[in-house]
Structure 1
């Protein structure tokens, strides 16, 4: 049985629809579609007519056409809907009073990828904080966590490394839907609560991966064109903190990593084969590849590297795979391995790799070439699991 997203439920359940009496706005992006591929904004125009007064877009823009971190979108009047589209990845990540003026219900329909280093959940939590003293109902139209709602992985973010890819004390693979992130935020992370409503999905179970939902996948950001890429994302996004390519500018973005100085076959045979075997990690295959990025890092330079192929998603641990791959590349490339410098996602002081990891400890771990057992020791998740159990709605 196919999953019905919060958007589908809103469209089909006239009793829920009737509860929204005033003006409505919608925060959405390219992946905000119903089960028939119809964009949420079109459905809102149909449902609410003249009461549909404003649109908002997150990072990458309402159209999801802007590529990189800290590349901002403009505010516009939409040429078809003839209403304002306010960018919440612009000179501000927080909606202003003027942006929120005249709104009674602000709907949020964003496809998250289940990873801490993905900004849409922070667009939601900043919105909730802004609306805590306003007479605005924030309504999250819930969507699946594409890498399931059971498995959690990685260290908990240390708040001194707060950025727009990590505002809250959660692990890299957080196991929540975006609606549950909103509920977690309201219960544990703020003192003043907003008027939050989550329209739950139907037929979604926590053990589902995206392919199990029978829903259509549209890219939620420009470099995740395939649902399968969300499985490799918690591993490959780590390399945003380096000057290695994570495959942007190729057709396999965030599934491959590489650098012009890597000879892929010798690196794989002499380094990764034994490391993977000794790690006892399962559910994936690393394959030596050669690729040519057409933009961003090492544009138009041939790179050697590794592609991650997930062969068993139930046993695959992306965070650990990514950290071990980075550890080996750090020592293989030596002086050619370079950490990216600040700023990164509006943090102007800390190294981007530490911002992504939410800690300095993991960078020190890999620079010291320490063991996988020491890496696993960073995953102190019991308190988080207790909090998660308190807010689960599925």
Structure 2
């Protein structure tokens, strides 16, 4: 596996001082992606695709003059409109920008040639949780394959792995168990950022995608989310804290068994009820 796709940064001052990690989105807005401005772009986003000021990436990029032509929504939707787990969403027009929103958690999981028609590149800006069974990295993989098939670029705006980049835990997925909660042989807790995963899978899976990573700056593999200085994220109702994300690797392994993981607004993923 690759070492890092996020640029290393050093701690300034005391160990307890909060480090300012700069996301790929913020680096793009600061000039790292000026070469993309002439291109017609599709954008894969969700509610955590925000700047430090909580501005959604589509709004920030349009404001800076990028030519966004279409949005793509993963599980839970582009703007979080489908927060219930495993509820598919349809395609629609974004009420704020008027852009078409193609759902990649609908009757299709992979962008179709029709969805990609007229686009020069797809920009991926999703905050992952660092666990194989969360579907965002597989949305990324399928979108990379779709871009490779029609010859357009795929750009990852990288973000930190919220549970760190040192520990790797759990069994490596067997090929005969591949599904939308695991499409490539990685451990349950993989320790990589989306940019690192994209680079590695592009090579080891032989995708051949024209891949570009806008790296995040200042992230260190030993960091948890609270060390990054980045704002809290809202991936789904159950994953608003780092501790909840650590719990997901346990509970998603138990899905389909006769246990209830306490999914709800008060103490999601932190209680267990065995159903008899």
Match of residue 320 from structure 1: none
SS at match of 2:202: helix
Checking the alignment, whether the CA contact within 8 Å between 2:163 and 2:242 is kept in structure 1 is no
* Separation in 2, partners of 1:250, 1:68: 12
SS at match of 1:155: strand
* Separation in 1, partners of 2:194, 2:256: 25
Match of residue 102 from structure 2: 86
* Separation in 1, partners of 2:83, 2:256: 16
Match of residue 214 from structure 1: 229
Match of residue 45 from structure 2: 28
- Following superposition, the deviation at residue 249 of structure 1 comes to 2.5
Higher RCO structure, 1 or 2 (CA under 8 Å, sep 6+) = 2
Checking the alignment, whether the CA contact within 8 Å between 1:237 and 1:254 is kept in structure 2 is no
Query: What are the residue-to-residue correspondences of 1:115-194 with 2, within 5 Å?
Result: 115-190=131-206, 192-194=207-209
* Separation in 2, partners of 1:93, 1:258: 32
Checking the alignment, whether the CA contact within 8 Å between 2:37 and 2:65 is kept in structure 1 is no
TM-score, with length taken from structure 1: 0.63
Post-superposition CA distance 1:276-299 (Å, at most 9, x none): xxxxxxxxxxxxxxxxxxxxxxxx
* Separation in 2, partners of 1:135, 1:163: 25
Checking the alignment, whether the CA contact within 8 Å between 1:66 and 1:222 is kept in structure 2 is no
Show structure 2 runs of 5+ residues with no match.
1-18
Is 2:75 aligned against 1:44?
no
* Separation in 2, partners of 1:127, 1:17: 23
* Higher helix proportion: 1
- Following superposition, the deviation at residue 206 of structure 1 comes to 0.9
- Following superposition, the deviation at residue 105 of structure 1 comes to 1.9
Bigger CA drift: 213-222 or 93-102? 213-222
SS at match of 1:26: strand
Post-superposition CA distance 1:15-50 (Å, at most 9, x none): 53234421111100010001111111111211235x
* Separation in 2, partners of 1:219, 1:241: 25
SS at match of 1:154: strand
Checking the alignment, whether the CA contact within 8 Å between 2:237 and 2:265 is kept in structure 1 is no
- Following superposition, the deviation at residue 259 of structure 1 comes to 3.2
* Separation in 1, partners of 2:211, 2:255: 33
How many residues were matched structurally?
Answer: 258
TM-score, with length taken from structure 2: 0.89
* Separation in 1, partners of 2:273, 2:90: 33
* Separation in 2, partners of 1:128, 1:250: 34
Checking the alignment, whether the CA contact within 8 Å between 1:239 and 1:257 is kept in structure 2 is no
Is 2:52 aligned against 1:66?
no
* Separation in 1, partners of 2:236, 2:35: 32
- Cα–Cα, structure 1 residues 19 and 83, in superposed 2: closer, same or farther, change >3 Å? closer
* Rg comparison, structure with higher value: 1
Is 2:253 aligned against 1:238?
yes
Show structure 1 runs of 5+ residues with no match.
261-335, 337-394
Match of residue 381 from structure 1: none
* Separation in 1, partners of 2:80, 2:36: 30
- Cα–Cα, structure 1 residues 25 and 8, in superposed 2: closer, same or farther, change >3 Å? same
* Separation in 2, partners of 1:19, 1:89: 27
Bigger CA drift: 57-66 or 208-217? 57-66
SS at match of 1:225: coil
Match of residue 11 from structure 1: 29
